[in-house]
Amino acid sequence: MPFWAVLYCGMIAVSALFAIYAFSSRGPYYIPGQLLSSLFSVMMFLFYYGLFITKPESVLIIIVMFMYILYWECWENRLLFPVIANDTEEMSREGFDLTGHPKVSKMMFLFMYAFIIAISLPLLYIVSNLVMSYI
């Protein structure tokens, strides 16, 4: 496995630990759900590079794992994503209040989503190549 993939898997593990630490009060399902999403993400790399475990016999397993990752990161964490503030609303200078819906400017909203897409590209690359390897 290349060095960048090892770093990326480490980043996934650290972000999972941070999410569990910061948002464990969301309910008893959150910790296992976050761990499963992170485990599936790391397993995609292990399947692709053939380390420790062999890839499944069916591409359906890969697709179901990826769909769970998308579900968890987009739907279950939807309250963590900020919303765009109206021009008339006062912006907080202290930072995000994670108890409600944090509000950001339109430019910050675009930068945040561009950053999320950029961070997701290695995983999308691995998953697409993994699925294509079944064809």
Specify the pTM.
0.73
Q: Give residue-wise pLDDT tens across range 108-122.
A: 777 877 888 888 888
Find the distance separating the first CA and the last CA of the chain, reported in whole Å. Answer: 22
Band (81; pLDDT cuts 50, 70, 90): low
Q: Give residue-wise pLDDT tens across range 13-66.
A: 888 888 777 777 777 788 888 888 888 999 888 888 888 888 888 889 889 999
At 74 the pLDDT is 79
At 67 the pLDDT is 92
Cα–Cα dist 47/53, whole Å = 7
Q: What are the backbone dihedrals phi and psi of residue 106, each rounded to the nearest 5 degrees, phi first? A: -65, -40
Band (76; pLDDT cuts 50, 70, 90): confident
**Residue 64: CB partners within 8 Å, gap ≥ 6?**
none
What are the extents of the domains in the chain?
3-132
**Across the strands, what pairs with 85?**
none
Residue predicted with more confidence, 3 or 93: 3
Q: Give residue-wise pLDDT tens across range 86-101.
A: 555 555 555 555 555 5
